[in-house]
A = this chain, B = another copy of it.
Amino acid sequence: MSGSVGELPPGLTASEQITREELQLATRNHGMPLEALRYPVTPVGLHYLLIHYDIPAVEEASWRLRVDGAVRHPLTLTLDDLRARPVVTRPVTMECAGNGRARLAPRAISQPWLLEAVGTAEWSGTPLWPLLEEAGIADAAVELVFAGLDRGVEGGVEQRYARSLPLTEARREEVLLAWGVNGQPLPPQHGFPLRLLVPGWYGMTSVKWLARITAVTDPFDGYQQVKAYRYRHDPDEPGEPVSRIVPRSLLVPPGIPDFLTRQRMLEPGPCLLEGRAWSGWGPIVAVEVSVDGGRTFQAAEVADPPAPYAWQAWSFRWDSQTPGDYELCCRATDATGRKQPTEPQWNLGGYADNDLHRVKVTVAPS
């Protein structure tokens, strides 16, 4: 690993610059360009994508979903079996737990997201829990383990990607087994033919290329559960698990960009600032906007959520009459009182840093 200094634990760098390993990840994973915040439903191909290993090649004809473990009647299901079940379509905002990581210092060497690891799609599928009831899940079960078909090595451990969910979460009616996105079959990169969808939780939970659901009577200790996706400040502590999405608001960058710096140029005059805000803990109840880099804030208008766990539109009328340089930022508060902080929220893995989106704008006549 290049770029690390002095006392830092392994896997961290204090360098402003990005390593070759990080670039390899950044060129294969996809962010959502922030102007796509304008779409209430993100078009397929603009939604963020984080793929740990390779996209597996899966044939629908031979694919099966296995439901097993602590159940009385293990199930083996085809996609047609699943499609014959009750169908639900719901818009859900999904965000990568590492969104914001590359803005932290020092930072974990991993996928170097700035702020674009988000998207909202209309997912179609069938509720998860009735399937487990049909399988006769045992009273002794405590979690479900969801295993994908994607295989690789991470932290020295060869693995298929797998994550678990406590039964209290798995029982929620909005948790789906999804085979469709935006009215189409899942494309390969979103988990064809089937993925889990856990609204409100960071994306690592919504296992793609799902092949097996196992009810377990002891908490799952797989790599993605106990090594990755933990809030830690010291490499030796077990850490708290990453779960629900903390509040965030983002801004459609106004005006026009410079190709390289992404600095924005805007003509003087009235300008409607718009964006989206979301939280996995509850609806957003307030968005505030600052045009002076966070010194002062004013309330934006916030639309009702189109559905639980789908981002909410917000807008703010800014009259940018005076030429000069501005730093716009926005912060959201949800119904539980959780509010975006003004300072970075540092942890070793670079998870869930939801400090403010800052957009530099030069107001000048063109």
Contact = CB atoms under 8 A, between A and B. Distances in A.
Given A53-B257, A256-B152, A31 B28 contact: yes
A62 interface: no
Nearest to A35: B54
A113 to B, nearest CB: 6
Given A2-B17, A153-B265, A187 B23 contact: no
Contacts of A23: 18, 23, 26, 102, 112, 114
Interface residues of A, number: 63
A168 interface: no
A155 B260 CA distance: 9
Interface in A304-342: none
A45 interface: yes
B260 A110 contact: yes
Interface string A34-48: 111011000111110
Contacts of A45: 30, 44-45, 47, 49, 187, 189-190
B36 A31 contact: no
Nearest to A262: B24
A116 interface: yes
Contact of A27 (B21, B112, B152, B155): B112
A366 interface: yes
A303 interface: no
Contacts of A52: 259
Interface string A97-134: 00000100000011011101000000000000000000
A36 B55 contact: yes
Nearest to A56: B35
A307 B155 CA distance: 44
A2 B57 CA distance: 41
A257 B153 contact: yes
